[in-house]
Amino acid sequence: MRAFEFHPAHQISDAIRSLDEANGNARICAGGTDLLSRLKDDVDNPERLVCIRTLPDLRYIRNDKDGVRIGALTTLSTIEEDAYVQKQLPLLHQALQVTAAPQIRNQATMGGSICQRPRCWYLRGPFDCLRKGGKECFAVYGENKYHAILGGHLCYIVHPSDSATALVALNASVKIHGSKGEKTVPIEKFFVGPEVNILKENILEDDEIITEVFIPHPAPGCRGAFNKSRERQSYDFALASAAVQCRMSRGVCEDVRVVLGGVAPIPWRSREAEAVVRGKKLSAATIREASEAALRNAKPLTQNDYKVDLTKLLLTKSFQQVSI
């Protein structure tokens, strides 16, 4: 690990100023579970760490009339254990239960979780790859078993965050503070694919921090399900995952959001699958058709076509669970 300046921030404005001063050479340190491994692996070498764990008031789960507000420093295990989340947001609860290991969930934060960098071993190894400003993606002709089958564009990373997949399905939004003030963006707009920016996975600027995640109350009749497959059963990133959040009325799917994880550079919303099921009963045939539709445009690389079948299966399971 290389030397860096350590700036503990005691107010959001301190943190933003400290980030701003560093001109892109600072990183935000919250739980540190992802950041420290990047520093130790020498794939990220910031001059400064702005520690926001010292900020007051960013650890909360608050219910108001619109929805639930989760402070950016709230740990994943706190959210997982929250009674409202367990009851009203089963999709998020299921996702958190299979995220990382308990020790990591005790440390990792809401904001950090959705800002994790991809696990691509070329990105995290001594390879001068496109996402690091280099000239090629080593995965295309290399070891790409864990890489993207959807949404790849020159770069084939997959977004690593289970909670991001869940939050897109739940139509969450993200509150961001920066030098230019405060803004709230729908989480879907927060993530960007390589066709928009090949160096970053989201819109967060160098001087910005996430302060809150907002999840609207699900409408009555809403159901959610999250299914994930992983290679090592105790803890592992997703080979693929599928989140379905669905409002059912007399057996008919009135509204739905379908999001796939582990298969694309961003949490992958499948409007194709949504279009198939919207306004229909979730019969076996409709579910099959929707799962096929979700993967119709999949373009597997040399070693990952298994992800197509696996994702269909996980999506089918999630649909089945919300249809019961």
Partner 1 sequence: MVDDEKNQKPTGDQEYEDTVVNIEGRRVTVRTRKVPPLPDWTETEIVGKALPRVDGIDKITGRAKYTYDIQVPYMLYAVAVRSPHPHARVKNISADKALAAPGVHGVMLPQDVASYTTAGLPLLTLNPKYTGEEIAVVAAETELQAEDAARLVKVEYEELPFVMDAELSKSDKSPVKFFPEGNFIGGGFGRHPIGKPSVYSRGDVEQGFKDSDQVFEETFTTQPQQHSCMEVHGTLAQWDDDQLTVWESTQGVYGVQEEIARVFKIPLSSIRVIGTHMGGGFGSKGGAGKQTALAVMMAKRTRRPVKMMLSRHEDYMGVYRPASTQYFKIGVKNDGRLMAIQLKTINPVGAYQSGANWGSCAAMTTEMYACPNVHTEEYAVFTNAPTPSAMRGPGNTQNAWGLEQMMDLIAYKLNLDPIEVRNRNDVKVDQVTNEPYASKGLAECYKMGAEKFSWEEKRRRRNDPAGTKKHGVGVASQIWGGGGGPPATAIVKINQDGSVNLLTGAADIGTGTRTVLSQICAEELGVPVNRIHVTNADTETTPYTLPSYGSITLASSGPAVRSAANDAKKQLFDLAAGSLGVKPDELSSKDGFIFVTRQPDKRMKFESAAAGMPERDLVGRGYRGPNPKGQALNAFGAQFCEVEVDTQTGEVRVLKFVAAHDSGRVINPHTFASQVKGGITMGTGYALSERRLIDGNTGIPVAASMLEYRPPTSLDAPIDIEVYSVDVPYKANNIGAKGVGEPPLIATAPAIANAVFNAVGVRIYSNPITPEKIMLALRDGKTAKQTA
Residues binding partner 1 (CB under 8 A): 1-3, 40-41, 101, 121-122, 125-127, 138, 141-143, 145, 229, 231-236, 239, 306-307, 309-310, 313-314
CA distance 237 to 34: 13
In the complex with partner 1, the residue whose CB is nearer, 214 or 237, is 237
In the complex with partner 1, the residue whose CB is nearer, 124 or 257, is 124
Pairing of strands 268-269, 222-229: unpaired
To partner 1, the closest distance from the beta carbon of 43 in angstroms equals 11
To partner 1, the closest distance from the beta carbon of 128 in angstroms equals 10
In the complex with partner 1, the residue whose CB is nearer, 38 or 177, is 38
Residue type, 128: D
Residue 97 · residue 83 · CB < 8 Å: no
Kindly state the helix (H) or strand (E) to which residue 71 belongs, with its residue range. Answer: strand 67-71
In the complex with partner 1, the residue whose CB is nearer, 29 or 70, is 29
To partner 1, the closest distance from the beta carbon of 207 in angstroms equals 28
The burial of 128, by beta-carbon neighbours within 10 Å (0-12 exposed, 13-18 middle, 19 or more buried), is given as exposed
CA–CA distances in Å: residue 308 to residues 110, 157, 165, 233, 291: 29, 16, 17, 20, 10
What sign for the dihedral angle of Cα 6, 12, 14, 15?
positive
To partner 1, the closest distance from the beta carbon of 304 in angstroms equals 8
CA distance 131 to 146: 17
In the complex with partner 1, the residue whose CB is nearer, 19 or 310, is 310
To partner 1, the closest distance from the beta carbon of 1 in angstroms equals 6
In the complex with partner 1, the residue whose CB is nearer, 21 or 231, is 231
Pairing of strands 268-269, 67-71: unpaired
In the complex with partner 1, the residue whose CB is nearer, 1 or 219, is 1
CA–CA distances in Å: residue 89 to residues 211, 223, 291: 21, 8, 23
To partner 1, the closest distance from the beta carbon of 232 in angstroms equals 5
CA distance 53 to 19: 15
To partner 1, the closest distance from the beta carbon of 179 in angstroms equals 32
